[in-house]
Amino acid sequence: MSDGRWLPQPTPETQHFWDGTREGELRLQRCDDCSHTYFPPRPFCPGCGCRDVAVFAASGRATFCCIAQRAAAQPALLRELVRRGHAV
Task: Determine, yes or no, domain membership for 1.
Answer: no
Gap between the Cα atoms of 82 and 88, Å rounded: 6
Task: Determine, yes or no, domain membership for 79.
Answer: yes
Range of the domain at 43: 15-83
Predicted pLDDT of residue 81: 75
Q: Does residue 14 or residue 5 have the better pLDDT? A: 14
* pTM (whole model) above 0.75: no
User: Please, which pLDDT band fits residue 83 given cuts at 50, 70 and 90?
Assistant: confident
Number of domains in the chain: 1
Task: Give 82's contacts (C-beta < 8 A, 6+ positions apart).
Answer: 88
The string of pLDDT tens digits covering residues 26-77 is 999 999 999 999 988 999 999 999 999 999 999 988 776 766 656 566 677 7
Strands 27-31 and 37-38, by their bridges, are antiparallel
Nearest C-alpha neighbor of 74 from the set 82, 63, 65: 82
Predicted pLDDT of residue 1: 46
